Amino acid sequence: MTQFRVGIVGARGHTGGELIRLLAGHPDFELAFVTSRERAGRALADHIPGYVGDLAYTSPAYDTLPELGADAVVLALPNGKAGHIVQQFDAAGTDAVLLDLSADFRFDDGWYYGLPELTRTTYAGQRRISNPGCYATAMQLVIAPMRDVLNGPVQCFGVSGYSGAGTSPSDRNDVELLRDNLMPYALTGHVHEREVSHHLGHPVEFMPHVAPHFRGLTITANLHLTEAFGREAVLARYQRRYADEPLVQVQEAAPWVSRIAGRHHVAIGGFSLSEDGRRLVVVATLDNLLKGAATQALQNLNLAFGLEEWTGIPMEAM
């Protein structure tokens, strides 16, 4: 069987490691190249637990990437770094799929915004795909079933593990500073606040925090409604909306972030209504490195190559 060749640019980060493992176990994809300036020449197996291949990191010049023959290239770079590489592929005229994990193209209507549970019907073979943010994924999935009955902005209180701050040293991934702490940041205007407001077409107010755990995030969403609802009616809405979505688990109890680490789905639950039935609070959790990044990237790659969307995703880890 012909395998599609996938390259990863900037794979030193946490998400890059997760995606390497997923692609290495995929029946229809093979790793074409994995780049990292810091690890150039070193074997992936020395840095990626569970990886058993013989591939090594490389550090090619960005303008040579289109010549490497990959069918798809995943850009796992910090915000603001993808544009130059995209220009190289555009200039070369190659037909490679480009999948950007940063926020650089999430507001570009020329790119497919790949949150499949909400946007797969708009995928029409686009070769440029923008992977949603981790927080933005959780917020959109928790809000979408009530989108038509919202009254005013939705407030979302978020807490993530420090892996979401990446590998470059900062206060938000300093284990000592985070010890016994909850660190607020970007309390207005966070890029995921703008991302969700843009793609849902409804204002969202987002207040993110970092906690001492490594992976997993939780969103508590406060939704004001135009009409009164009972709890069973709300639960039925979510169950209907996600009945055929294996990576969205709707449950009655509020999900715990400690139970989502290492899993590939979103958990939504804890449906609580005010006495008048016009204010709803819902909780969502996901692993920011998986469904918030690498797992969702794999869903998008599967769609791009006409494969079953969940191919290569370990459904037993649910």
Residues with a known catalytic role:
134
Q: Where in the chain is the domain with CATH 3.30.360.10?
A: 134-288
The tokens describing 59, both together, are 């550090």
pLDDT, tens digit (0-9, with 9 covering 90-100), for 7-17: 999 988 889 99
Is 164's pLDDT higher than 80?
no
Contact 229, 299 (CB under 8 A): no
Topology of domain 134-288, CATH: Dihydrodipicolinate Reductase; domain 2 (3.30.360)
d(CA 37, CA 152): 46
d(CA 57, CA 34): 5
Distance (Å) of CA 225 to CA 108, 156, 244 = 30, 15, 26
82, 94, 131, 191 alpha-carbon torsion, rounded to 10°:
30
Which CATH number, 3.40.190.10, 3.40.50.720, 3.40.720.10, 3.50.4.10, labels domain 4-131+292-304? 3.40.50.720
pLDDT, tens digit (0-9, with 9 covering 90-100), for 198-218: 999 999 999 999 999 999 999
The whole-number pLDDT of residue 281 equals: 98
Q: Where in the chain is the domain with CATH 3.40.50.720?
A: 4-131+292-304
CB neighbour list of residue 102: distance below 8 Å, 6 or more residues apart: 75, 77, 78, 79, 80, 81, 82
Is 1's pLDDT higher than 70?
no
Best CA proximity match to 1, nearest among 31, 28, 37: 28
